[in-house]
Structure 1
Amino acid sequence: MTKLVALQVGHSLEEIQLPPVSRLDLIQYAGASGDYNPIHTIEEEAKKAGLPGIIAHGMWTMGNLAKLFTPYVQQGFIQDYSVRFKGMVFLGDVITLHATLTEKTDGHLRFRVAATNQNGNDVIQGEVVVALYDREDRTSFTEEETP
């Protein structure tokens, strides 16, 4: 795995492709989030609302986008995270998550992030700022210290 500090502007993190969005994913997310809007779980209700079918919660997609940074938890943390929802995610869509380093300053990395569907259309675009841990005053466990 690449060290975040070794990345150069223009480099990308390894993409993640999610499995096809399922109704169960959205039902589980509704339970976890408390967002029981029926357009996310019931086909007839989504169509009554003028949609072509069930759509995923925007926050479900946004939450998945953060998975790009999970492998780096021992190197730093997400300090700022902002997105714009650009398109809807439907049942069966295959979402690919992307992050490209756009700026590197002392202790902070700024990434352009996006989630795209199987047709190559962005459904989310945004930015993530990662604060790197100070090597001298680190508050996380190192691999050797992990219980």
Structure 2
Amino acid sequence: MTIARPALEPGVTWAPLRLPPISRTTLALFAGASGDHSPVHIDSDVAHSAGLDDVFAHGMLSMAYLGRLLTANVPQDRVRSLTARFTAVTPVHGRPTCTATVSSVADGIARIDLEVRLEDGTVTVAGAAEVAV
């Protein structure tokens, strides 16, 4: 079976990864899987005591979603790097969408600009990946 993959050419935008709303169950499961049991991610009382409206998603959960988008479009063995900068929180019940655009190709390496954005337009993660072409 051949998997159709998008072209690695500058300007190509991949199909977005639209995720369901972040639930408390998702946060609890990710805490267990990652070992990150920071209470601001899973305990509403702690989040409120820190001045927050409620718990929010782990930044690394959003980065994992970017990795999922990346490896759905490029074979894993071609990924050379994946970086991210966390720019805003993803609140519980937020609906993230991950996007990717090929920004350049040179010397056998494609640079992919990655982003996680909420429905209101807030960018929560800005990232990039380098993949062998």
TM over 0.5: yes
d(CA) in 2 for partners of 1:77 and 1:89?
29
SS for the counterpart of 1:26 is helix
d(CA) in 2 for partners of 1:105 and 1:120?
31
d(CA) in 2 for partners of 1:99 and 1:80?
14
**1:122 CA drift (Å):** 0.4
Evaluate the alpha carbon distance shift between residue 85 and residue 91 of structure 1 in structure 2; reply closer, same or farther with a 3 A threshold. Answer: same
Q: Which residue of 1 aligns with 2:20?
A: 19
Q: Which amino acid aligns with 2:64?
A: G
1:42 equivalenced with 2:43 (yes/no): yes
**1:68 CA drift (Å):** 1.1
Q: Residues 48-81 of structure 1, C-alpha deviation per residue, up to 9 Å, x if partnerless? A: 1121110111001111111112223547532111
Q: Which residue of 1 aligns with 2:98?
A: 97
Q: Which amino acid aligns with 2:98?
A: L
When the two structures are superposed, what TM-score results if normalisation uses the length of structure 1? Answer: 0.82
1:35-114 correspondence runs (5 A): 35-74=36-75, 76-114=77-115
Count of aligned residue pairs for this structure pair: 131
d(CA) in 1 for partners of 2:70 and 2:32?
24
1:117-132 correspondence runs (5 A): 117-132=118-133
d(CA) in 2 for partners of 1:74 and 1:98?
17
When the two structures are superposed, what TM-score results if normalisation uses the length of structure 2? Answer: 0.90
Greater mean deviation of Cα atoms: 63-72 or 13-22: 63-72
Greater mean deviation of Cα atoms: 59-68 or 73-82: 73-82
Specify every segment of 5 or more residues in structure 2 that has no aligned partner in the other structure, as ranges. none
Q: Which amino acid aligns with 1:3?
A: R
d(CA) in 1 for partners of 2:103 and 2:31?
34
What value does the CA root-mean-square deviation take over the aligned residues? 1.6
The structure with higher relative contact order (CA 8 Å, sep 6+) is 2
2:5–2:74 Cα contact (<8 Å) kept:
no
The share of aligned pairs that are identical, in percent, is: 33
Q: Which residue of 1 aligns with 2:5?
A: 3
Greater mean deviation of Cα atoms: 57-66 or 105-114: 105-114
d(CA) in 2 for partners of 1:106 and 1:23?
44
